[in-house]
Each structure stands twice: as structure tokens, then as C-alpha cells.
């Protein structure tokens, strides 16, 4: 080796293996790279915990406040592991964080270690449904509805373009034909497909297999864990050593869906429509009609339900349960006959073979789902469903098998394999802990007791930048929208103080609608309401307005980043406790009570604390942001658990009377215009 190459190799080794204190320190390479860089002890503490988890092969649970720079804190240890040939998987919940990682944070950290960037080759891997399927595009020519569809022709032209990636995110318009032509696990023929070598989805998988840093989303990550439990050879993701689960407060919810089963009343009709629309297919149409009739009979009792959500056992007594099981058997038999017919025709019709074999594969999956839904006798399963009635469309039932807890599934599929391979499983979020500990989340997801744990606060000065205001004069919350007028009056007073520039976050759509109706004709500021346009466009319109008021529910409680003066106020209508009578919540709280626990303290309060921190976190996004978070729920003041909620929030200034809010904001403001029915005289307006 020449002296020049030895020096280059030594610089490479010193750079990637330098102590974290040097890499993140005030005079380190990151500081030299970023103008105005400020050393953050919180970031170093977080990076140290992540690296400890990776080096020791232990679980690592971390919470990092806004402004810590948690992505940099876990990317540096991940790249150091990659330099040793160990692949790290990074799983996120939101597309926005994926974009931030791939477009900004990963390139930034790689620029610190340019000699290894080629070796690492970062990759993004998405689920099948994000990619155009070449076989489905080819099959569209044999579909009576799609053959001459302009949307299909447009996608076919895109597929042939030199810059096509096949990824729907790169399609510059919304295609009405996408759902028909996207890749699907139901019909994917993997290596047997004629387009396997040029398949957009498998190209992305091959790129991921060649990368040491792969970014995925939680849905794909958890689906892969579920597949590996059944058949390791069926895994979608490449094998990995470490995994970083960002936005980890969503892990339980996504795992609940991944390890469960669901089937819609439209599942079989949609399958039958695909069969009917195959051009040139000669099949016994009475078989299709029989399957459709059986499906209607099977789902009819649920469609007649007058509730949005229900336990299956509540709707079906013993006799009705036997009838449903019998109908399920008949329906499965009917679908199996169709499957055999399709395979028989496929052997004789070369031109239809791949198309029909794919649909036959879907028939098999439908049978499996139906049998599990009505025949599984496994314990620890919640059997429930819901009915949606979307406008003028026909009602739809979705039946679900949901695990009572995912802790055991995650122990088997996530924690135990990581222990075997001695790899780190890093969980991080701005809202993972409750009441200052990880006890709640550890119990819910089965995380090991010996996990590395670290909670680091925000480097921002919340005392100076933010005020938490709980109006002490408001009545205690109640069910329904009975307090909409008092909420609207308080919100108007706040909006007049901050001159709009607010997120108004609600725990129910009914309350959001009621307050919006009271304020829409009185506010002199631009108003944006969830549902008027897609969430991303709504946020952009809000930002562009400069002084808008955005009314939102669940979507806007997290993952939305609005910096600067255009967001100076966040109002939350009430503590975000889960709806107690939803089937999953009810079953889980009853299980805790049956085991002798306190479901409210052990389940509802920690869950609501995490959710409240997410809503609060919309306000202060940078060191120069300033504003007010108002929570219109006097239980924070009047209930014994209220203080625990407040302590779980960032350490902002606090107020329960209006005078302190005015002084914090820096200028008094006229009282709001009265609403149709005046409220009782407010108490305690002074200090």
C-alpha cells in the first residue's frame, strides 16, 4: 500500500471511529459543516444511548424533545455500524420523515464520512402497492373496463418513459386507474412473472438488498415481521443487524393491524368483478352469482347493525353464529370452485394464463381470510367489526380479528430474533414516555426489562417561548358538544389576541364541526377545515395565509411542522382519552381489570399523556418560535391526575387566568364579541 493510500485509510478510520463527543462537539466535523451550529448535550446523550444499544445488542428506548436532532443522533451510530458491514433498518411512520431522512439528514451525515458513502448506498423500500405492476398493465388490455381507459393509456406511456421509477410518489398526477394497476400481494407471481427482472417493485427490493442503510415505513416493517414468523423465506425486507424505529409511539398500533386479520364485505364482490371483466374468459356465470349471493347473506346481519362499531359476539347469538359459520363454509366452497375453474382454464388458454393464475391466487387468500375470521379458536383475540356509510355509496362492513395484546407477538418476532443476532433495536420518539418512564410502552410492546433507556428534554427555552393556558373558569368537559359555545368564546378571545395563526385541534369531529359553525362567520381570519382538501395541501394553504385558523382532528395532532409566526397558538379541546366503548379499547381495559389492574391509570392515562404531548408539540418547532398552547379541559386543574399530565408536557410557563396570558403575549386585547347565548359570569380573571 502506498503512503498516500495509507494516509487516506487512516483518515477514514479516524473519522468514522472518532468519539461521539468529537463528532458532535462544538469544534467537530458537524460544527464545521453547518454554519451557526450549536452543540446540544441532549443530542450527544441520545447518540450515546443509541450506540450503546447497538454495540451491546440491547433494546434501547429513547425520548427526545423537539430540537434535539434525534435523526442525526441515531444516523451516526448506524453509519458506524455500516462501516463494519452491518445493515441498519430505519422504520418511520410518516412519509414526511422518510423524505427528511433521504433528502436531508442522511446526505448530511454521509458528507461527514465521504469515503464510506458508496459502500453504504442508502435505499428506500416501500410496499408493493406503491409500485406500478407491469403484468397488471399488460392484463388491462384484456379487461373489458380498462382496455380503452385513457388513464390506463397514460400510465402505460409513463411506464415506457426513460425517467419512470414506477413509484406512485413520482407520478405527477393522481391516476384513477392506480388501484387497478398497482402491485398486489394477492396476484404477485414473484419470480414466475414474465416481468420479474424489470419489475419496479423488485428493482427497489434489489437496491435495498445492496444497501447497508434501508429506510422503510412501519406498515412494511411489521408486515415483514409477521411474514417471517410464518415463513422466513417469505420475508420482504433484506436481513438486517440493527433496526431503528422512529416515531415509535405508533409501534403498538401498526403491530395490532399487522398481526390481525380483516376482511371487507367488498372483498369477494371486487374479486368477482375482476373475473367478470376478463376479456375472452368463458366461465360459468352462475358460479359468480352464487358466490355473490352467499357473500351478501354472510354479511347481511352486520350491515343491519345500527352501530358504527360492534363486537361480533354481541350481534350473533348462538344460533346466528352457527348460521354464519355454515354460510362461511358455503362461501369458501364456492370461492374454491371458482379457483379450480380459473386454474383449469389457465392451462388451456396460454394468453390468459398469468392473468387467471393471479386471480386464482387471490381466491386462495380470500378463503384463508374467511376461515380465520369465522373459525379461529385462538385465545387473546378481539372479534369485532365496523360499518361505514360513505355518502351515497353502499354501506360497507369490515370484520376484524385483533390481538388483545401484541406484546407476545413482538417478543417472538422482534425482540427474540434481535437477541439471537446480537443486534440493537432502537425505539425513539418525541412522545414515547409517560409520567417520566417507559413502563407503559414496555408493557404494551413486550420490550426487555434490561433495555437501555434515555429521556432527554428539548434544548429550547420553553419557559420563555411558550405558555400553557388552562382556562380555570370553563365548565368540566362532558359527552357530546354541550360546551361548544363556551369553547368557541374562549377560542375567539385567544384568536383575537394572537391575530389568528392557530391550530384548533379537537378530539372529535362533532365538536370541531360545532365550534366551527359558531366561529366561521365571526372570525376575520382565513379558516381552513380538515376535509376541505388533502391534509398536505391544507397545511400549505395555512402557511401561505400567514394568519390562518386550521380546524383539525386526529391528522393534525402530529407529524405537522409549521415554523415561525404563522403558528402562534394551539388550542386542544379536551384530554385525548381513547373512546372507552370502542371494541378494542373496551376489550383491552376489561382484560387489565380482570387481571386485577387499574385500567384507567395503567392504560388510559399513559395513552392520553402521549397523545397530548403530540398535540402540544405542534407549537414550538425552532428556538425562535413563540406562542400559547391552550387546553380547554379543567380536569388538568381539578382532578388528581391533572398534575401528572402537566408534568409530562414541556416546561412552559403556566396560566389559568386571562391576565397572565395577556402579559405573556405582551399586549391586552378587546373582549370578544358575545355569542347568541351569553355564558355565566367568568370567575378569576385577575391574577
pLDDT tier at 392, thresholds 50, 70, 90: low
**Burial (CB count <10 Å: 0-12, 13-18, 19+), residue 554:** middle
Residue 677 has what pLDDT?
A: 34
Please report whether residue 599 resides in a domain. Answer: yes
Please report whether residue 2 resides in a domain. Answer: no
**CA pseudo-torsion sign 586, 589, 594, 599:** negative
Half-sphere exposure of 495 (CA within 13 A, CB side): 27
Q: Which residues lie closer than 8 Å to 36 by C-beta, 6 or more apart?
A: none
Shared-domain flag, residues 475 and 451: no
Q: Please tell me whether residue 121 adopts helix, strand or coil conformation.
A: coil
Please write the tens of the pLDDT for every residue from 280-314.
Answer: 888 889 999 999 999 999 999 999 888 889 999 88
Which residue's C-alpha cell is 359527552? 479
Shared-domain flag, residues 311 and 394: yes
pLDDT tier at 686, thresholds 50, 70, 90: very low
CA–CA separation, 445 and 248 (whole Å): 11
Shared-domain flag, residues 498 and 631: yes
Please write the tens of the pLDDT for every residue from 562-583.
Answer: 999 999 999 999 999 998 889 9
Residue 64 has what pLDDT?
A: 96
Shared-domain flag, residues 433 and 549: no
Please report whether residue 416 resides in a domain. Answer: yes
pLDDT exceeds cutoff 90 at 383: yes
User: Among 140, 172, 198, which residue terminates a domain?
Assistant: 198
What's the CATH number where 567 sits?
3.40.50.300
Please report whether residue 438 resides in a domain. Answer: yes
CA–CA separation, 134 and 158 (whole Å): 11
Shared-domain flag, residues 345 and 485: no
pLDDT tier at 378, thresholds 50, 70, 90: confident
Please write the tens of the pLDDT for every residue from 504-535.
Answer: 999 999 999 999 999 999 999 999 999 898 88
Please report whether residue 3 resides in a domain. Answer: no
Range of the domain at 180: 128-198
Shared-domain flag, residues 607 and 480: yes
Shared-domain flag, residues 523 and 562: yes
Please report whether residue 11 resides in a domain. Answer: no
CA–CA separation, 131 and 452 (whole Å): 38
Shared-domain flag, residues 484 and 554: yes
Which residue's C-alpha cell is 425562535? 624
Shared-domain flag, residues 570 and 644: yes
Shared-domain flag, residues 528 and 381: no
Please report whether residue 111 resides in a domain. Answer: yes
pLDDT exceeds cutoff 60 at 205: yes
Residue 536 has what pLDDT?
A: 86
User: Among 198, 214, 238, which residue terminates a domain?
Assistant: 198
Mean pLDDT over the full length of the chain: 90
Residue 679 has what pLDDT?
A: 28
User: Phi, psi at residue 530, to the nearest 5°?
Assistant: -55, 135
Residue 484 has what pLDDT?
A: 93
User: Phi, psi at residue 564, to the nearest 5°?
Assistant: 90, -170
Shared-domain flag, residues 59 and 106: yes
Please write the tens of the pLDDT for every residue from 211-232.
Answer: 999 999 999 999 999 999 888 8
pLDDT tier at 638, thresholds 50, 70, 90: very high
Q: Which helix (H) or strand (E) holds 61?
A: strand 59-64
| Structural domain count, the chain | 4
Residue 186 has what pLDDT?
A: 86
Shared-domain flag, residues 80 and 151: no
Residue 3 has what pLDDT?
A: 44
Residue 284 has what pLDDT?
A: 87
pLDDT exceeds cutoff 80 at 391: no
Please write the tens of the pLDDT for every residue from 93-137.
Answer: 988 899 899 999 999 999 988 888 778 999 999 999 999 999 999
Please write the tens of the pLDDT for every residue from 32-55.
Answer: 988 888 899 999 999 999 999 999
Please report whether residue 10 resides in a domain. Answer: no
User: Among 198, 216, 250, which residue terminates a domain?
Assistant: 198
Amino acid at each position: 500500500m502506498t503512503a498516500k493510500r495509507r494516509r487516506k485509510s487512516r483518515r477514514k478510520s479516524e473519522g468514522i471511529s472518532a468519539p461521539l463527543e468529537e463528532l458532535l462537539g462544538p469544534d467537530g466535523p458537524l460544527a464545521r459543516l453547518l454554519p451557526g451550529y450549536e452543540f446540544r448535550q441532549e443530542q450527544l446523550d441520545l447518540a450515546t444511548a443509541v450506540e450503546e444499544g447497538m454495540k451491546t445488542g440491547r433494546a434501547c428506548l429513547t425520548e427526545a424533545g423537539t430540537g434535539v436532532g434525534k435523526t442525526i443522533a441515531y444516523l451516526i451510530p448506524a453509519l458506524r455500524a455500516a462501516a463494519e458491514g452491518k445493515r441498519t433498518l430505519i422504520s418511520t411512520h410518516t412519509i414526511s420523515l422518510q423524505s427528511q431522512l433521504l433528502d436531508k439528514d442522511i446526505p448530511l451525515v454521509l458528507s461527514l464520512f465521504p469515503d464510506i458513502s458508496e459502500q453504504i448506498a442508502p435505499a428506500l423500500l416501500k410496499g408493493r402497492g406503491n409500485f406500478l405492476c407491469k403484468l397488471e398493465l399488460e392484463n388491462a388490455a384484456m379487461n373489458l373496463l380498462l382496455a380503452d381507459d385513457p388513464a390506463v393509456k397514460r400510465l402505460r406511456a409513463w411506464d415506457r418513459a426513460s425517467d419512470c421509477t414506477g413509484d406512485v410518489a413520482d407520478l405527477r398526477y393522481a391516476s384513477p386507474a392506480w388501484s387497478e394497476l398497482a402491485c398486489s400481494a394477492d396476484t404477485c407471481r414473484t419470480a414466475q412473472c414474465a416481468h420479474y427482472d424489470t419489475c419496479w417493485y423488485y428493482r427497489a427490493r434489489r437496491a435495498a438488498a445492496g444497501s447497508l442503510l434501508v429506510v422503510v415505513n412501519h406498515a412494511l416493517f411489521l408486515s415483514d415481521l409477521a411474514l417471517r414468523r410464518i415463513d422466513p423465506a417469505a420475508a420482504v425486507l433484506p436481513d438486517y443487524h440493527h433496526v431503528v424505529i422512529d416515531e415509535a409511539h405508533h409501534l403498538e398500533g401498526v403491530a395490532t393491524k399487522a398481526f390481525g386479520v380483516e376482511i371487507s364485505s367488498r372483498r369477494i364482490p371486487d374479486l368477482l368483478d375482476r373475473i367478470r371483466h376478463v376479456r375472452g374468459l368463458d366461465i360459468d356465470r352462475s358460479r359468480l352469482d352464487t358466490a355473490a349471493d352467499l357473500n351478501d347473506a354472510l354479511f347481511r346481519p352486520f350491515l343491519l347493525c345500527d352501530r358504527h362499531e360492534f363486537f361480533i359476539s354481541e350481534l350473533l347469538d348462538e344460533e346466528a353464529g352457527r348460521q354464519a359459520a355454515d354460510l362461511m363454509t358455503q362461501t369458501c366452497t364456492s370461492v374454491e370452485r371458482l379457483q379450480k375453474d380459473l386454474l383449469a382454464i389457465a392451462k388451456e388458454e396460454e394468453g390468459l394464463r398469468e392473468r387467471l393464475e393471479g386471480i386464482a391466487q387471490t381466491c386462495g387468500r380470500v378463503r384463508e381470510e374467511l376461515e380465520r375470521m369465522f373459525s379461529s379458536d385462538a385465545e387473546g383475540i378481539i372479534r369485532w367489526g365496523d360499518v361505514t356509510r360513505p355518502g351515497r355509496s353502499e354501506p360497507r362492513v369490515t370484520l376484524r380479528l385483533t390481538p388483545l395484546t401484541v406484546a407476545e407477538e413482538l417478543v417472538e418476532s422482534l425482540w427474540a430474533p434481535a437477541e439471537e443476532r446480537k443486534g440493537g433495536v432502537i425505539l425513539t420518539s418525541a412522545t414515547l414516555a409517560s409520567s417520566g418512564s417507559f413502563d407503559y410502552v414496555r408493557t404494551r410492546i413486550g420490550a426487555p426489562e434490561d433495555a437501555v433507556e434515555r429521556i432527554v428534554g428539548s434544548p429550547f427555552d420553553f419557559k420563555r417561548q411558550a405558555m400553557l393556558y388552562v382556562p380555570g373558569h370553563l365548565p368540566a368537559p362532558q359527552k357530546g358538544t354541550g360546551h361548544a359555545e363556551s369553547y368557541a368564546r374562549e377560542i375567539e378571545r385567544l384568536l383575537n389576541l394572537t391575530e389568528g395563526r392557530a391550530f384548533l385541534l379537537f378530539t372529535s369531529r362533532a365538536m370541531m364541526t360545532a365550534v366551527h359553525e359558531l366561529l366561521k362567520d365571526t372570525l376575520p381570519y382565513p379558516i381552513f377545515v380538515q376535509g376541505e382538501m388533502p391534509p398536505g395541501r391544507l397545511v400549505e394553504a395555512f402557511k401561505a395565509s400567514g394568519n390562518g385558523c386550521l380546524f383539525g382532528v386526529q391528522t393534525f395532532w402530529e407529524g405537522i411542522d409549521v415554523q415561525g409566526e404563522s403558528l402562534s397558538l394551539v388550542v386542544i379541546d379536551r384530554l385525548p382519552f381513547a373512546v372507552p366503548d370502542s371494541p378494542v379499547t373496551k376489550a383491552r381495559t376489561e382484560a387489565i381489570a380482570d387481571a386485577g389492574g387499574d385500567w384507567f391509570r395503567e392504560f388510559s392515562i399513559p395513552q392520553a399523556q402521549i397523545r397530548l404531548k403530540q398535540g402540544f408539540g405542534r407549537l414550538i418547532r425552532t428556538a425562535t418560535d413563540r406562542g400559547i398552547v391552550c387546553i380547554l379541559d379543567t380536569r388538568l386543574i381539578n382532578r388528581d391526575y391533572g398534575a401528572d399530565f402537566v408534568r409530562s408536557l414541556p416546561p412552559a410557563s403556566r396560566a389559568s387566568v386571562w391576565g397572565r396570558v395577556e402579559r405573556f403575549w405582551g399586549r391586552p386585547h378587546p373582549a370578544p364579541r358575545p355569542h347568541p347565548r351569553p355564558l355565566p359570569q367568568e370567575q378569576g380573571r385577575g391574577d
